[in-house]
Amino acid sequence: MIIFKLAVLILISALNFSLISCDKPKKPNVLFLLADDAGFEIGAYLNKIVQTPNIDALARRSLLFEKAFVSVSSCSPSRSAILTGQPIHQNGMYGLHNAENHFNSFDNIQSLPKILKNHNIKTGLIGKKHVGPSEAFKFDFEATEEQHSINQVGRNITKIKLLVREFLKNSSDSQFFLMVAFHDPHRCGHVTPQFGPFCERFGSGEEGMGIIEDWHPIYYQWEQVQLPYYIQDTEPARRDIAAQYTTISRLDQGIGLVLKELESAGRNRDTLVIYTSDNGPPFPSGRTNFYEPGMNVPLLMSSPDKKRWHEATYALTSHLDLLPTFLDWFDIPQQNLDENEVTSLTGKSLLSLLDHDPPNDDTTAVFGSHNFHEVTMAYPMRVIRNKRYKLIHNLYYESKFPIDQDFYVSWTFQDILNRTISKMGIPWYKTLKNYYIRPEFELYDLNKDILERQNLAYKKDFLKLRNEMEEKLKKWQEDTNDPWRCEPHAVLEDKGDFKGNPSCLTLAHDEL
């Protein structure tokens, strides 16, 4: 790895010397582009209708990940996991950070901006922060919902462009980590319905909507959208998707503007660019779920040295790998972090993928941990997914799967509700009943059943596999000190007589 990094530096120096010999070689930086609730509605991921020329162009200069997974499919938890390299049960950010939900990570958590500050790297966050406590995730420069309206810093791509320009100008002499966290294409029907279900009319120039000078809105026909398998084929759902596409196209144009700023500042030659999304789209089986639409997200990694540009990888990748990747890029060895800094990261740097894929390994797995979305939505789940199989452990399987406020008011969910109540039937791959009611364990063969409809967890032939996967999951929960690791049939005792010997003690559920 050190040899590789040296090679990168030499290459960058050489480039700088040959292209603009007056510039002194600069050290590498990171531009981290994070979308809000974005899925695979991108040309580069083979969506044929939605227009995303800027993300597609970035993809041609990137290694494109087909198998990148969040460790939790919920906004604040996912952002906290990205910024700490730890799953939510370890960093304490159990659910959404909003005032009424009040979730925060532990005060003394070591986060990426803190670590980078200690290593003299300038950090900036433009857009959605949505993690706390604020001091635990303090960037040198912040233009977020804490200082501005979220639509201005998260959806107004002209405003975002100007902020990025200023940050880059201020950083001309320093190494930087800039996170641009778009609020697009998040829904907004629940907070600002006047702008449409995805805020697709905000800044459109129509009466009362204001104008975003750099945005050229694209509107889509509901009959023409590319319907994913997990959304019912009805007019209200299709109209919802059409609105989502308009907002995705704004995100795309925003990314184009930000990348142009990077280029104008001359920093595209020494900056690693990563694009991903905090979780899957806000549709059934998407956000708040560990089914593939909730958990599998786009990820593009564009290295300035052109390594593996316009290639794809199927290597299993977790968002928990991002923090180790950033540290690796900045040459900050994990063992050099001071004792308060993150000590037990389970993720690993993705930089070696820029040279070649890892050897094919069926035992590699990614893991996830979900507790809440909104504060009322207690539905802890743990998941392990390897190349072929996924095992979900629903700890509160006896309660019904909860629905968040934002998704509830959507045309898609209202349509499912209306049709269920009036017994109309739904042209959908599930019923509301089997969406709400989930068994304790769900095991899917993703080679044969990517729709995750055939639960193998209770089939005799699969008991051995299920046990093996359960054990691996348990091991990861232990390694990451998961307080829920004995749930739901036992109690974790780890103090007093059990200090140093944490144990799961039975609740005798089997005897009832």
Number of residues that bind ligand NAG (CB under 6 A): 17
Q: What is the dihedral of CA 403, 408, 410, 415, to 10 degrees?
A: 90
Residue 197 or 298: which CB sits closer to ligand NAG? 197
Binding mask 175-204 for ligand NAG (x = CB under 6 A): ----------------------------x-
Residue 167 or 177: which CB sits closer to ligand NAG? 167
Give the binding range for ligand NAG (CB under 6 A) out of 10-18, 209-217, 339-347, 400-408: 209-217
> Does residue 159 touch ligand NAG according to CB under 6 A?
yes
CB 71 within 8 A of CB 320: yes
**Interface pick for ligand NAG out of 36, 145, 252, 415 (rule CB under 6 A):** 415
Residue 116 or 473: which CB sits closer to ligand NAG? 116
Interacting residues with ligand NAG between 211 and 240 (CB under 6 A): 211-212, 236
Least separation in angstroms between CB 75 and ligand NAG: 23
Binding mask 128-147 for ligand NAG (x = CB under 6 A): -------------x------
Nearest in space to 41 (alpha carbons), one of 241, 239, 216 = 241
DSSP 63-91: EEEEEEE-SSSSHHHHHHHHHHSS-HHHH
What's the CA gap between 85 and 161, in Å, rounded? 28
Residue 380 Cα to chain centre, angstroms: 18
Which residue's entry shows tokens 């909507």?
A: 209
- Asked if the peptide bond before residue 502 counts as cis, ω within 30 degrees of 0, the response is no
Give the binding range for ligand NAG (CB under 6 A) out of 152-160, 361-369, 444-452, 458-466: 152-160
Least separation in angstroms between CB 24 and ligand NAG: 22
- Tell how strand 141-144 and strand 271-277 pair up: unpaired
The enclosing H or E element of 231 equals none
Interacting residues with ligand NAG between 431 and 460 (CB under 6 A): none
Q: Which of 22, 75, 188, 199 is catalytic?
A: 75
Give the binding range for ligand NAG (CB under 6 A) out of 106-114, 163-171, 324-332, 399-407: 163-171
Interacting residues with ligand NAG between 238 and 297 (CB under 6 A): none
Residue 409 or 465: which CB sits closer to ligand NAG? 409
**Interface pick for ligand NAG out of 418, 454, 467, 506 (rule CB under 6 A):** 418
Least separation in angstroms between CB 209 and ligand NAG: 7
> Does residue 414 touch ligand NAG according to CB under 6 A?
yes
Q: Which residue is nearest to ligand NAG (CB)?
A: 210
HEC profile of 4-45:
HHHHHHHHHHHHHHHHCCCCCCCCCEEEEEEECCCCCCCHHH
The answer to whether residue 486 is catalytic is no
Give the binding range for ligand NAG (CB under 6 A) out of 56-64, 160-168, 367-375, 376-384: 160-168
What's the CA gap between 384 and 207, in Å, rounded? 49
Residue 414 or 455: which CB sits closer to ligand NAG? 414
What's the CA gap between 201 and 195, in Å, rounded? 5
**Interface pick for ligand NAG out of 411, 428, 435, 476 (rule CB under 6 A):** 411
Give the binding range for ligand NAG (CB under 6 A) out of 207-215, 326-334, 460-468, 494-502: 207-215
What's the CA gap between 419 and 423, in Å, rounded? 6
Least separation in angstroms between CB 284 and ligand NAG: 14
What's the CA gap between 237 and 225, in Å, rounded? 10
Least separation in angstroms between CB 151 and ligand NAG: 7
Tell me the CA distances in angstroms from 143 to 80, 187, 198, one per residue in order.
Answer: 18, 21, 22
Size of the chain in residues: 512
What's the CA gap between 389 and 448, in Å, rounded? 10
> Does residue 170 touch ligand NAG according to CB under 6 A?
yes
Nearest in space to 452 (alpha carbons), one of 322, 284, 325, 329 = 284
Give the binding range for ligand NAG (CB under 6 A) out of 66-74, 308-316, 398-406, 410-418: 410-418
Reported as half-sphere exposure (CB side, CA atoms, 13 A), residue 441 has a value of 18
**Interface pick for ligand NAG out of 110, 156, 253, 318 (rule CB under 6 A):** 156
Give the binding range for ligand NAG (CB under 6 A) out of 15-23, 93-101, 396-404, 413-421: 413-421
> Does residue 123 touch ligand NAG according to CB under 6 A?
no
Binding mask 62-81 for ligand NAG (x = CB under 6 A): --------------------
- DSSP code, position 204: B
Residue 489 token pair: 């049939």
Residue 406 or 482: which CB sits closer to ligand NAG? 406
What's the CA gap between 164 and 308, in Å, rounded? 27
Grouping H, G, I as helix, E, B as strand and the rest as coil, residue 146 is coil
> Does residue 476 touch ligand NAG according to CB under 6 A?
no
Phi, psi values for residue 369, rounded to 5°: -150, 120
What's the CA gap between 371 and 90, in Å, rounded? 12
Nearest in space to 283 (alpha carbons), one of 1, 32, 6, 40 = 40
Residue 217 or 266: which CB sits closer to ligand NAG? 217
Phi, psi values for residue 442, rounded to 5°: -125, 125
What's the CA gap between 42 and 48, in Å, rounded? 8
Which residues sit at the interface with ligand NAG, rule CB under 6 A? 141, 156, 158-159, 163, 166-167, 170, 203, 210-212, 236, 411, 414-415, 418
Residues tagged active-site: 75
